[in-house]
Amino acid sequence: MYQRLLEAPKRHDQSFFLFGPRGTGKSSWTRAGFPNALVFDLLSMHTYVEFLQNPSILEEKIPKNFDDWIVIDEIQKIPDLLNEVHRLIESRGCKFILTGSSARSLRRKGVNLLAGRAHSYKMFPLTAAELKSDFDLNQSLLIGHLPSVYNNKDASEEYLNAYIGTYLREEVLQEGLTRNLSAFARFLEIASFSQGSLLNMSEVARECKIERKIVENYFTILEDLLIASRLPVFTKKAQRQTVVHPKFYYFDVGVYRSIRPKGPLDSPGLIGGVALETLVFQELKAVNDYERLHFDLYFWRTIDQQEVDFILYGKNSVIAIEVKSSRTIHPSDLRSLRLFKEEYPIAKLFVFYGGKEKIYGEDVTILPVAEILPQLPAFLKDLSS
């Protein structure tokens, strides 16, 4: 059991949602942090059928004068339960932890997400800071950071291969998100070629041989299931003309590598570079959210293809980060960062790279990625102040 960066809410009487992809450790975190909670797991078929037939039975299952936490795992399976949760918060002062791997069905059915009565938190794959001495960069780039992978490293490949299959079967198919499961499975593979790249819907649609509108819906499904996200381009007060398309990322480098088709013509360097960028992105997202740093995340790319991988835009700072898998940095590698600083002079510039030495330049700080990722919470906290 790893100590997670996510902290329980300071208010001990405030219900909350905990959203995150399957397998990121939501249930383990709630059981460790709230050992006396009353737990209802909607992945249990018996529990699921019982509540589906009669959501109001929830009150009968809560002992009178029970004043501890009540956990409902995978609440999106039965959105109607939220009406009962709302009523029990009001009538009995119950406090709930509502975990979920998708908010799609909750929104689709127009259910009130307990606005004002329940905050929302997120769970991500493990971070390097959470792994501590178990963090190994080369291993992370191969198997990612899902907790179950670290519980049984010998079976990591089998677990990752089954992971998307589980989503297809239990989320996409059961919720009726698409009628053509084979087309969606093909789309998942085609989308993996867009990892860390500009997202061109028309091109993906052509490769998948399906309509663009369907592809747009598929990408929305991935985001709703929390297994992918789009990173917008930074355009604030832009002087140089920038691109308009976002970049695309699956949420975990191990999941990305398991989906990405590989063959004799695929360059290990290309896949490895994308994997490193993916790892840095998932770490930035997790630490930013856990530490409540309130950075908005972007990338920057001009129409003449000058690009900075990640821009963190906060209340008091602008941080530009370029990710390089190479072990040495050449002056040409810093060109895009310096062009960005010309446009945004307040920006602080960093390179995370595959080398071992820290290099402090006049305007750019170059840091070993294997060293900075475990220190990322403190590093970003300092830059946010």
Task: Give 106-113 contacts, CB < 8 A, sequence gap 24+.
Answer: 106/75, 106/76, 106/79, 106/82, 109/79, 109/80, 111/79, 111/80, 111/82, 111/83, 112/82, 112/86, 113/17, 113/82
Task: Average the pLDDT over 319-325 and give the result.
Answer: 97
pLDDT band at 264 (very low <50, low <70, confident <90, very high): low
Structure tokens at 5: 């960066």
| 81 and 168 fall within a common domain | no
Task: Average the pLDDT over 27-51 and give the result.
Answer: 94
| 80 and 143 fall within a common domain | no
What whole-number distance in Å separates Cα of residue 40 and Cα of residue 43? 9
**Number of folded domains that form the chain:** 2
Output the DSSP codes for 35-74. TT-EEEETTSHHHHHHHHH-TTHHHHTSPTT--SEEEEET
The CA-atom distances, in angstroms, between 247 and each of 96, 134, 206, 264, 283 are: 36, 30, 18, 26, 16
What whole-number distance in Å separates Cα of residue 42 and Cα of residue 77? 7
| 231 and 256 fall within a common domain | yes
| 175 and 98 fall within a common domain | no
Query: Which of residues 93, 122, 151 is at a domain's end?
Result: 122
Its pTM stands at 0.92
Q: Which of 17-21, 263-267, 309-313 has the lowest mean pLDDT?
A: 263-267
pLDDT band at 174 (very low <50, low <70, confident <90, very high): low
Q: What is the CATH number of the domain that holds 75?
A: 3.40.50.300
Average pLDDT of every residue of the chain: 90
* pLDDT > 60? residue 96: yes
Q: What is the pLDDT of residues 133-155, one digit of tens each?
A: 999 999 999 999 999 898 777 77
| 100 and 204 fall within a common domain | no
Query: Which of residues 122, 140, 175 is at a domain's end?
Result: 122
Query: What is the residue range of 254's domain?
Result: 128-384
Residue 294 lies in a domain: yes
| 358 and 239 fall within a common domain | yes
